[in-house]
Chain A
């Protein structure tokens, strides 16, 4: 008992997720799932996430609807509806509900890439957005 608490605290502080503010628990969970899947430690990379987010695929990139600066309000490329900013620093409602995040990764990756995003890619995107 005595040894566990400090160990847990230490683990929480040294993980890159600790820098992610309100998105930290969700990022940590994505990283843990990704690590389990590939059988090696995985951490989200903000720079890889940056590139991924802005790379145009067949028709769209993530920034087509979420804007090139995800701290800004986005706009749906077809319907014109406003989309609240993606960066948790300006919109703390982001990346706090795993079911919601999973649902939108599922839909939007299908639309933009024509395939699901890997857990590594998801962790990269969340690490990038949380670093802004």
Chain B
């Protein structure tokens, strides 16, 4: 999930709220498929497609109907709430005494804990590998450049709308897959489970970047996975220290707010003169508008 959020937030420079809905969509699709006796691995694949469809909707709203990215994500997220309820038929589907991706491995004689760990590891490594490859390809490079400097990308003959769409589709697909895995891990899918996931995703992205650096693209991807794990550990720790689980989201939100504002605090201490691309293109626009 962190990686999904990373794609939109860091690579495309969009905070995509669709993920709040698509994570539940993934869980819902997987839960319904499994209770209908479909192979749990296949259910994860279905979840992937469901998430990609959600990403496509946001992409269409944004690039075709020109609705701002943030709002497009919110619209899809809200719509998905109803869609997810439709898929699930009720607000909670328990997944007890059914085959999940984990029980298949448990049957091989592994303990539940090891099954979760091994599968988690395989999935994460798989995704890191695939994404590392993908973002190194011609299309992948074009997507990365789009988030960085769309004007330049268009000047290089690349359709930025297409690139944004591909990014949104992939990221929501990934998020839905993680939703499917989470549902099977916790043995239920719940209509509420997506709430706050964007913030958790961002928290993991930021922790990953702060702790594990942002040197090469590969180390960033690995950092993301580690960031997500670190986030989990931190949460477990603060819970053990006696924080009420009800305060958890507040705690996460504050952490992310602080982390995101670090550059501002830093610039109070050390004035930096480097301006970002966006600022300079604004400046350019202002210049163009100043008239005679």
A and B are interacting partners? no
Residues of A within 8 A of B (CB): none
